[in-house]
Amino acid sequence: MTVALVTANLGGIDPIFPLPEHPGIVATYYTDRKDEPIELLGWNRVEHVVAHGDPRLAAKLYKCQIHKTAGADDADFFLWADACLRFKSLAFVPDLVRAIGTDGRRA
């Protein structure tokens, strides 16, 4: 079971927090920052260039279209995390997936 954890931080609004170890979770960070070592913090970087408009609004594209994000083809479950969140642990994720179930209708 593959879980995709996705966040987006465009416009440098939030600091980038490190992610604890996360076996079985593909963590993707959409950003327009080129100066931060996101990969060293446990995230997979996907660069986004904000051509025009509000970067906060552009970040919502990934939230609303999470099933179309990088790595979506390999994911069985999608979790959105606001970029301002700092995780101490991701140990809750397997329990969450079990609670939801494979049909996605239990919670």
Instruction: Give pLDDT tens digits for 89-99.
Output: 999 998 988 88
Task: Report residue 103 as tokens.
Answer: 């049909």
- Do the bridges between strand 25-31 and strand 44-47 make them parallel or antiparallel, or are there none, so unpaired? parallel
Spatial separation of the C-alpha atoms in residues 53 and 21, rounded to whole Å = 35
pLDDT digits (tens, 9 = 90+) for 26-74: 999 988 888 777 777 889 888 887 666 787 788 888 888 888 777 777 8
pTM: 0.83
